[in-house]
Homo-oligomer: A and B are copies of this chain.
Amino acid sequence: MNASRPPTLEDVAARAGVSRALVSIVVRGVPGASEPTRQRVLEVADELGYRPDSRARLLAGRRSRLLGVTLALDHPFHADLAEGLYSAAERHGYEVVLSAVTRDRNSRRAIDTLLDYRCAAALLIGPPVREPWLSALAERLPVIVLGQRSRSRAVDVIRTADEAGMRLAVDHLVALGHGEIAHVDGARGPGAAARRGGYRSAMRRHDLTPRVVAGGPAEEDGAAAARALHTAPPTAVLTYNDRCAVGLLDVFVRSGIAVPGTVSVVGYDDSQVARLPYLRLTTVSQDAAQLATLAVRRAVARLEHEPVSERELVLTPHLVVRGTTAPPR
C-alpha cells in the first residue's frame, strides 16, 4: 500500500526530454509526432509504468468518451448486454462505467451517478424510469434505452420485436402440432404488453384460443403460474422470459408433468441459463451482443452528430430450438 504517487505525463515528458503535450499526443495515438520520438516516448512510458489518469483525461477533454450504463445486477440478460457493451465500446474507443440498480438504489439514483461523471451518453438497461424525467434526461445527453420500449420520443431505442418473437414461438409450437398454448405473461414488466399482444394475435391467426396466465419476471412468478396451470395444463406454455420459464419448469417437473413429454415450454431472452446443458430451454433469442453493438454505435453516432435515420431500431429475434419443445402426445 501507498508507494510514491503514480507517474504522470510530466514525469514521462521529463524523462524523455520532450514536452507534456507531445507525450499526450503519443499516448493518445493521434498524429503529430515522428516515428522515432513516438517509439522513445512509448518506451519511457512503459519503463515508468505510466497509465493515463482517467479523471484528468475526462476532465480536460472536450468530449467525454465515457458511456454510462445502468443495469440490474441480478438479471442474466442484463449481464449479457453489459458484456457486449464493454466490447463494443472498446472497439469505438469509448470507456464504460456501470451503475447498478439495486433494492435500495433506484434507477434515478443510478443515473444521477452517471451524470456526476459527466458521461457523454447514457445507456439504460436497468428498470425503466418515469416518462417526464426520462425526457428531461434526454435533453442533457443522448439516451439509449436497451431491450425495451420507451414512451419518450426523445430517446433512442434498441430492442427486438417482441410481437415477432412471440409469433415465432407460437408458429413453432403449432408446427409441432400444439393447439392449447398458454402464455405466462410478464405483468407490467418491460415488453410484457407487447409479448402478450404478439401472443394473442399469433394465436388468432391460427384460429386458436389464447390463454394468458398472470406471471412476472422472476422464477417464482413462473412457479406460481405453473401451480395455477396445474389443474388443467395446456400442451404448451410460452413464458415472458427465461427466468420465468425456469420456475415453471421446476414446478412442472416436480409435480410429475414431463417436459417436453406432457407440456412443451418456450422461454424468452436466450440468456445463459437457457443454454445450460441440463435445461436446454427452447427460447426466443434477443442476441445481446448485436443489441449492444447497435446501442454503442447509436450512442457514438449521436455524439458525433452523424445523421440517424430511425429513432428506434427493432431487431428481428429468432427462435433457438433446444430440448423443451416436442410434438404433443
Contact = CB atoms under 8 A, between A and B. Distances in A.
Contacts of A103: 83
Contacts of A219: 273, 276, 278-279
Interface stretch (A23-31, A138-146, A228-236): A138-146
A51 interface: yes
**Interface size class of chain A, counting residues whose CB lies under 8 Å from the partner chain:** 35 or more
Contacts of A278: 219-220, 223, 247, 250-251
Contact of A140 (B3, B73, B117): B3
Copies of this chain present in the complex amount to 2
A6 interface: yes
A276 B219 CA distance: 7
Given A251-B278, A253-B253, A86 B102 contact: yes
Interface string A242-278: 0000010011011000000000000000001100111
28 contacts: A1-B141, A1-B142, A2-B141, A6-B118, A51-B115, A52-B116, A53-B118, A55-B58, A55-B59, A55-B118, A73-B79, A73-B83, A82-B100, A83-B100, A83-B102, A86-B105, A87-B105, A98-B98, A219-B276, A219-B279, A220-B277, A223-B278, A224-B277, A247-B276, A247-B278, A250-B250, A250-B253, A251-B278
